[in-house]
A and B are shown apart, each in its own frame.
Chain A
């Protein structure tokens, strides 16, 4: 079956750095997405990786290793507004998006 694993919850301090991991086992691979979802709101697109390596976008970076079935989202200079759930999603060989359960990130002052 297809599976995406992420930690359920993480806690970090304002101003610090946090890394949210995602491992996946899917039938084929056509890209990996990270979305941010604040409580009670819809997800918003953060990043996309299809080749191995690091993609940097301001305070957020996303890394992919296809051989390891592994990605992480790195958030720097954490702000209180970064408290949200972070969803990892993989597009499989049929171009279907397989969603992880999300990681709830709690930022403390």
Chain B
């Protein structure tokens, strides 16, 4: 149980275009979803936290107009990287928590590797 999927698993796009990444909890309703980015050989950097039906809470330094997060339902959150630039190339990972989780642990999706040319 507690499976999280992400789509696409990898994407290559041209500079200036927008990219949407979907995160779904497949067998549970997610109370909260998180979006992270991770650069090579570095740890996870939390970008934002979102709850269904409410605006995402962005971490300091993360541009909310550039990284649009929509949490439309208890099983789906999307991250849209608008006007992507090469410096946005990274590994983007979503995670979710569920009220049935014993310790509030986060369940991670498989990640999306974004390359902006």
How many angstroms from the CA of A48 to the CA of B91 in the assembled complex?
Answer: 25
Chain A's closest residue to B4 (CB) is A42
Number of A-B contacts (CB under 8 A): 41
Q: Does B43 lie within 8 Å of A102, measured CB to CB?
A: yes
How many angstroms from the CA of A45 to the CA of B105 in the assembled complex?
Answer: 7
How many angstroms from the CA of A99 to the CA of B105 in the assembled complex?
Answer: 13
B35 interfacial by beta-carbon distance below 8 Å? no
- The smallest C-beta distance from B19 to any residue of chain A, in angstroms, reads 18
Q: Tell me the residues in window 64-94 of chain B with beta carbons closer than 8 Å to chain A beta carbons.
A: 91, 93
- The smallest C-beta distance from A34 to any residue of chain B, in angstroms, reads 10
A33 interfacial by beta-carbon distance below 8 Å? yes
Given contacts A31-B104, A48-B105, contact A42 B110 (CB under 8 A): yes
- Give the dominant DSSP class at B's interface: loop
Chain B's closest residue to A87 (CB) is B43
How many angstroms from the CA of A40 to the CA of B38 in the assembled complex?
Answer: 10
The count of chain B contact residues (Cβ–Cβ below 8 Å) is 19
The count of chain A contact residues (Cβ–Cβ below 8 Å) is 20
Task: Kindly supply a per-residue 1/0 record for chain B positions 87-116, scoring 1 wherever the CB is within 8 Å of any chain A CB and 0 otherwise.
Answer: 000010101000000111111111101000
Task: Enumerate chain A residues within 8 angstroms of B103, measured Cβ to Cβ.
Answer: 31, 33, 48, 50
A101 interfacial by beta-carbon distance below 8 Å? yes
Given contacts A42-B93, A48-B103, contact A97 B46 (CB under 8 A): yes
Q: Tell me which of B41, B102, B107, B111 contacts A41 (CB under 8 A).
A: B111
Interface residues of A, Cβ cutoff 8 Å to B = 31, 33, 40-45, 48, 50, 87, 91, 95-97, 99-102, 104
What would 10 more interface pairs be, CB under 8 Å, given A41-B110, A42-B93, A43-B93? A40-B113, A42-B95, A42-B110, A48-B102, A48-B105, A50-B103, A91-B104, A97-B46, A97-B106, A99-B43
